[in-house]
Amino acid sequence: MKDVKLDQTVAITLYRIVQELVNNIIKHAAAHNAVVQITKTDDIIAITVEDDGKGFDTAILNGTTGIGWSNIQNRVEFMKGRLDVKSEPNNGTSVHIVIDA
């Protein structure tokens, strides 16, 4: 991503998505390690944020009222991206986002 030029709106939106995901790890995961990976291949930007924290049942995301998760979903939707969350109790969390750049 070093030499990648992004529109300012795209760059800020990606930053805010990653910021909220990392904030969620700090607040909720009790993780020892977290990994943030952002890559651009051709016209695809992929973001992966993983932790080794306590995990959770992803079904709760459907009924969550938290503003943080709602902001993530809205930003991914705004960018016409796809969002995939994998987690299970005691086994960490992985969030993968793919956006057409």
CA proximity to 51, closest of 69, 27, 38, 32:
32
Domains and CATH numbers, the chain: 8-100 (3.30.565.10)
Among positive and negative, which fits the CA dihedral 34, 59, 27, 98?
A: positive
pTM of the prediction?
0.93
Question: Shortest CA distance to 79 belongs to which of 100, 61, 54, 50?
Answer: 100
pLDDT in tens, the chain (101 residues): 888 899 999 999 999 999 999 999 999 999 999 999 999 998 999 999 999 999 999 998 888 778 999 999 999 999 999 999 999 999 999 999 999 98
Question: Which amino acid does the sequence have at 41?
Answer: T
